[in-house]
A and B are shown apart, each in its own frame.
Chain A
Amino acid sequence: MKITVLLTTFWNKTRIIWNKIYPILNFKSRGKVLRLLALSLLLGLSVYIFYLDSSIREAFDGRKFALPARVYGRALEMYVGLKLTPAQFVDELKALSYHENPEPNEAASYKFTANGVEFTTRDFAFWDGPQPSQRLRVEFADGKVTLLQERGTPDKDIPLLRIEPPIIGGIYPGHNEDRALLKLNQVPKPLIDALISVEDHKFYSHWGVDPRGIARALFKTISGQRIEGGSTLTQQLVKNFFLTSERSLTRKANEVLMSLLLELHYSKDEILETYINEIFLGQDATRAIHGFGLASYFYFDRPLDRLELHEIATLVGMVKGPAVYDPRKKPDLVLQRRNVVLQEMVRLNVITQAQFVVARQKPLGVVYRAPSGTSPYPAFLQLVHRQLQRDYREQDLRSEGLRIFTTLDTRIQHLAEQALALRLGQIEKARKIPANTLEGAVVISSTQTGEIQAVVGGREARYAGFNRAIDARRQIGSLAKPIVYLTALENPGRYTLVTQLDDSPLVWKQRGTTDWKPKNYDNKFHDTVQLRTALAHSYNVSTARLGIDLGIDTILDKLPKFGIERRPPPFASSLLGAFELSPMEVTQLYQTIADGGFRTPLRAIREIVTAEGKPLQRYPLNVEQVAQPAPVYLLTAALQGVVREGTAQSMTNWLPEELHVAGKTGTTDDLRDTWFAGYTGDHVAVVWVGRDDNKSTGLTGASGAMTVWGEMMKNIQPEPLQPVVPEDIELVNVDPLTGLRNSEDCKSAMLMPFIKGSVPTEISPCTIATATPPKVEDKPVVKTEVKAERKPESKPEVKEEGKKNWLQRLFN
């Protein structure tokens, strides 16, 4: 209504002015020129005021309710039997800003007991409803939770406890402003009193400006002193909206005009409420702390309505300049300022002398907390943000105060970050690679639910730069091979794990490409090798031949089912991974294999709730069976062979054999990219190590990425991989060398899974002597790889032509 009236008035005035100007535009007399000038000035001023008016209202209306989306990590679910140590548990509590207290009865406090921890949770509104604060006791033994009780009279065992999840970031309005919005009636009266006492005690009577203040400021400016002071709360709000710290008369004039306009349009309460939510109160790395609501958490880790008088006075004191009055950096100065605020309050009779005396004696009480920026997990947050952008408008994400519950497991995330940074540093040092030239990325998901538990976008995990986990697309090399082998194993009439493959020289002619002559990494050909051995040692020639026999299109057609949307070029070289994927895409591929042929789209978000706590959306678990369990079981057995006796054999330096990890190394052209993709009973993880400039790293999958994987999993302590044996799988004894059947009591035999009906019929005599050869045969190959790895430029033995094509170089 007001807007319409103003617009009409403005338009009418402009028309009147124009009608007057028009007849005198012929410049016939000097008087007319003067009048014209005066009118132009008037017109200009009107236009300017109109402009200011609309800007201030736009800013005020637009930002009055801007509330960032809050993103939470996963909530720790505790129950008897959970693998968790007291130290891990307390780390979790500390990350949630719990504090140690000998009487842990107030929310967010804990104490150690003989066998565990006593603690009290906070109230928390989960997706499925509120959960009140609880007083609890947990006990541990042998790295597990052994008791979980609610403390009371009497104590009561509880089956399950969900601890409030950590905030892992926010999606903020422009300028990374964060706030926790408050309505005026939620703001404690002492705060309003303090604010008005100290900053603007005529707030309820002025028109937006204090003429005496302005006069004083003007005098000081004219007399050459510093321009300062005289700002009402309204003026401060205007200043805050336009974010300029410029000190000039023009700006001051603008500020005065805008303040008057603001008061014209809005009530005192609206202005005060906005001020309380808007005012800048500190900086947390890249995140700006706006408003008293958020500042209360940021400095005292409590909501505003639970602050005591002296704490409120501290916050109000900081309004003068949070950069200068930073209680963490300058506690003495802030204490002094706080007491000035208290003094002013008692002078204006908004608090009693007794209250003043008590408050004045209190310490500051600000909590120590490391600044966290917009998110300590920028790579994961970016993934969440992208998923949200598919379903929500950017504006809503930044302003509607949505609460987003995600899958990030902060413990696993930290271990992944640490392993990547540690190993890259160690590798650089050991191999005399210039420091900080290697880069890497990690993605970890849960095997059966497809939830993304950790994303590391680079070795500087806190730095929100290039997110290699999502955006770096690199050739995947041998990581593509399992798809070839799966396709073979799906045809049990032709292929089993012990089928002999031809690893003799191969020349492949395909229209549109030059002749292709794949080579093995060790520059040798191996005549015939068992299928499982070819995968374990990542032989290129036998794999290529196998893939060509099965049909390049048949194999590549499988990829979309496994969640790989981009189609590789239809060349034989694609069978050996001459196409680019991101670590995230590779994780999806391996997740499907790890989960027995069930594709579960990787998820980073579980639920979204509105600012009012209303459930908005769930991202449920979806499953699609894209491969039969039996061939996938065989493939897993073969991938376990990669770790047990193949290219990833040195994994034993990190993980015990009993974990039966399955995985695959990948190395590309000139050792540019090194990969390891693998899985345990509960996690799928993919690691990429390479250089941003795409130059050679001098590393292989086994010496680069795999070591990061091992280091990381060693600390995560995963569950062993023991897939359920599908019904159509039969386990029989075979001679490891020939693949022929051995008797059941044969000691040199190896237990090998087969799809029913494909078990070898020919019996081989049992000889103890043949018990070890596979290892003897395997080891030199591994050694060869290690050797080659250290001398990447060493000349291959088998050299068929002087100039090699890119693909031959790729898989040397």
Chain B
Amino acid sequence: MSLLVAGCAGVKTQPTVAGTTPETVTQGETPQTTPPAQPGDVIIAEPIPKPIESTNNAVIALLDRAKLDLGAGQREAAGASLERALRIEPRNPWLWYELAQLRLAQGQYAQAVSLSHKSISFAGRDKSLQALNWRLVGNARIAQGNPNGAEQAFKRATDLEQSLSVKGLD
């Protein structure tokens, strides 16, 4: 059950990723600290501006659709929409991150980890997105029963977040 919560948390906190634009990244909004949201919360209630996941309207439409599907509990359909988006922008690290979150929610932890790594591989110097991915890896590892691995991943996420906030203060 705790695995499921961890998994769900990973997905549900996604929209709260405050600003994944480097200047506004805040700490504390980490998947493992966010209280589990209720079903349906996925799409609604986003007080903080979302990161720009894509500039392509087709991709944005598919992301919206994936989120709607997810809200309706249709994870397979959400996955299909994300894959459609990935066919349009196969190198968009946000889409890989979204898919990683979905796999985490589906309980496919190994896939979640691999997809996060893939997102990182396309993230370039985007440290905030890298941090999000490491957090996701941490959550997946907890679910896999690998607390040490999880700790390392969370540490990497924290380091990345700190390096960003230090930069932000400059």
Establish whether residues B80 and A607, one from each chain, have CB atoms under 8 Å apart when the complex forms.
yes
Type the 1/0 row for A436-475, where 1 means its CB is closer than 8 Å to any CB of B.
Answer: 0000000000111101000000000000000000000000
Q: Is the CB of A159 within 8 A of B61?
A: yes
Q: How far is the CB of B110 from chain A (nearest CB, A)?
A: 8
Query: Are A79 and B58 within 8 A (Cβ)?
Result: yes
Q: Chain B residues near A159 (CB, 8 Å)?
A: 57-58, 60-61
User: Please, which residues of chain B bring their CB within 8 A of the CB of A622?
Assistant: 111
Asked if A77 is an interface residue, CB under 8 A from chain B, the answer is: yes
Chain B residue numbers with a CB within 8 Å of A79 are 56-58, 88
In the assembled complex, which residues on chain A have CB atoms less than 8 Å from the CB atom of B90?
446-449, 682
CB 8 Å contact bits of A618-649 with B (1 = contact, 0 = none): 10111111000100000000000000000000
With the chains together, A621 CA to B121 CA distance in Å?
17
Stretch in contact with the other chain, from B2-10, B112-120, B146-154, B162-170 = B112-120
Residues in A neighbouring B123, C-beta threshold 8 A:
724
Contacts of A451 on B, CB cut-off 8 Å? 87
Contact between A727 and B80, CB atoms less than 8 A apart? no
When the two chains form their complex, are residues A621 and B99 in contact, meaning their CB atoms are under 8 A apart? yes
Separation in Å of the A262 CB from the closest CB of chain B?
44
Interface: B43 (CB within 8 A): no
Contact residue among A449, A615, A625, A629 (Cβ-Cβ distance under 8 Å from B87): A449
Q: Does A81 contact B (CB under 8 A)?
A: yes
A725 contacts the other chain (Cβ, under 8 Å)?
A: yes
Interface pair B79/A81, CB less than 8 Å apart: no
Of all chain A residues, the one with the shortest Cβ separation from B77 is A128
* Cα–Cα, bound, A803→B120 (Å): 54
Please, how many residues of chain B have a CB less than 8 angstroms from a CB on the other chain?
Answer: 30
* Residue of A80, A446, A620, A681 touching B57 (CB-CB under 8 A): A80
Which residues of chain B are within 8 angstroms of A493 by Cβ–Cβ distance? none
Give the residues in chain A near B115, CB-CB below 8 Å. 623
The residue of chain B having its C-beta at the shortest distance from the C-beta of A633 within the complex is: B121
Within 8 A of A (CB), among B55-112: 56-58, 60-62, 76-77, 79-81, 83-84, 86-88, 90-91, 99, 110-111
When C-beta atoms are compared, the residue in chain B nearest to A160 turns out to be B58
Looking at chain B's contact residues, is the secondary structure mostly helix, strand, loop, or mixed?
helix
Q: In this complex, what residue of B is CB-closest to A630?
A: B121
Cβ-based interface call for A577 (8 A):
no
Q: When the two chains form their complex, are residues A621 and B124 in contact, meaning their CB atoms are under 8 A apart?
A: no
B83–A724 CB distance below 8 A: no
Picked from A160, A618, A621, the residue with its CB within 8 Å of the CB of B86 is A621
A621 neighbours in B (Cβ, 8 Å): 83, 86, 99
Q: A615-B76, A724-B91 are in contact. Are A77 and B114 (CB under 8 A)?
A: no
Q: Which of A77, A607, A624, A724 sits near B122, CB closer than 8 Å?
A: A724
A563 at the interface (CB under 8 A from B): no
A596 at the interface (CB under 8 A from B): yes
Within 8 A of A (CB), among B113-138: 114-115, 117-118, 121-125
A615 to B122, CA, bound (A): 32
| A127 interface contact, C-beta 8 A | yes
Does A598 touch B at the CB level, under 8 Å?
yes
Bound CA–CA A243/B80 (angstroms): 44
Which of B56, B60, B90 lies at the interface centre, i.e. has the most chain A CB atoms within 10 A of its CB?
Answer: B90
| Chain B residues whose CB sits within 8 angstroms of the CB of A569 once the complex forms | none
- B124's partner among A128, A598, A618, A724 (CB-CB below 8 A) is A724
Query: How near does chain B come to A171, taking the closest CB pair, in angstroms?
Result: 23
Residues of B within 8 A of A448 (CB): 86, 90-91
Whether B80 contacts A127 by the Cβ 8 Å rule is yes
Q: Given that A448-B91, A623-B115, A724-B91 are contacting pairs, would A81 and B56 also be in contact in the complex, using a CB cutoff of 8 Å?
A: yes
For the complex, what is the distance from the CA of A620 to the CA of B117, rounded to whole Å?
18
Does A726 touch B at the CB level, under 8 Å?
Answer: yes
When distances are taken between beta carbons in the complex, the residues of chain A under 8 Å from B114 are 598, 623-625
Which chain A residues border B76 with CB–CB below 8 Å?
615, 618
Residues of A contacting B57 with CB < 8 Å? 79-80, 159-160
Which residue of chain B lies nearest to A80 when distances are taken between CB atoms in the complex?
A: B57
Which of B79, B91, B125 touches A620 (beta carbons < 8 Å)?
B79
Query: Complex formed: what's the CA distance from A622 to B110 in Å?
Result: 10
Please measure, in the bound complex, the distance between the C-alpha atom of A446 and the C-alpha atom of B62, giving whole angstroms.
20
Contact A724 to B121, CB < 8 A, known contacts A159-B61, A622-B111:
yes
Give complex CA distance A451, B99 in Å. Answer: 17
Complex alpha-carbon distance, A620 and B87, angstroms: 13
Complex CA distance for A160 and B63, rounded to whole angstroms:
12
Find the B residue at minimum CB distance from A126.
Answer: B80
Minimum distance in angstroms from A597 CB to a CB of chain B: 8
Residues of A within 8 A of B118 (CB): 596, 598, 623, 625
Whole-angstrom distance between the alpha carbons of A449 and B82 in the complex?
A: 12
Contact A623–B87 (Cβ < 8 Å):
no
Chain A positions 581 through 624: 1 when the CB is less than 8 Å from some CB of chain B, otherwise 0: 00000000000000010100000001100000001001011111
Closest to B76 in A: A618
Minimal beta-carbon separation of A307 from chain B (angstroms): 35
A726 to B124, CA, bound (A): 7
The 9 closest A-B pairs by CB, nearest first: A79-B58, A448-B90, A159-B57, A160-B58, A159-B61, A623-B114, A629-B121, A625-B117, A159-B58
A-B contact pairs, 24 of them (CB 8 A): A77-B58, A77-B87, A79-B56, A79-B57, A81-B56, A81-B58, A128-B81, A159-B61, A160-B62, A446-B90, A448-B91, A449-B83, A449-B90, A598-B118, A598-B121, A618-B79, A621-B86, A621-B99, A625-B114, A682-B90, A724-B121, A724-B123, A726-B121, A727-B125
Residues of chain A whose beta carbon lies under 8 Å from any beta carbon of chain B = 77, 79-81, 127-128, 159-160, 446-449, 451, 596, 598, 606-607, 615, 618, 620-625, 629, 681-682, 724-727
Known: A79-B56, A451-B87, A623-B115. 10 other contacts (CB 8 A): A159-B58, A598-B117, A607-B80, A618-B79, A621-B86, A623-B114, A625-B117, A629-B121, A724-B122, A725-B124
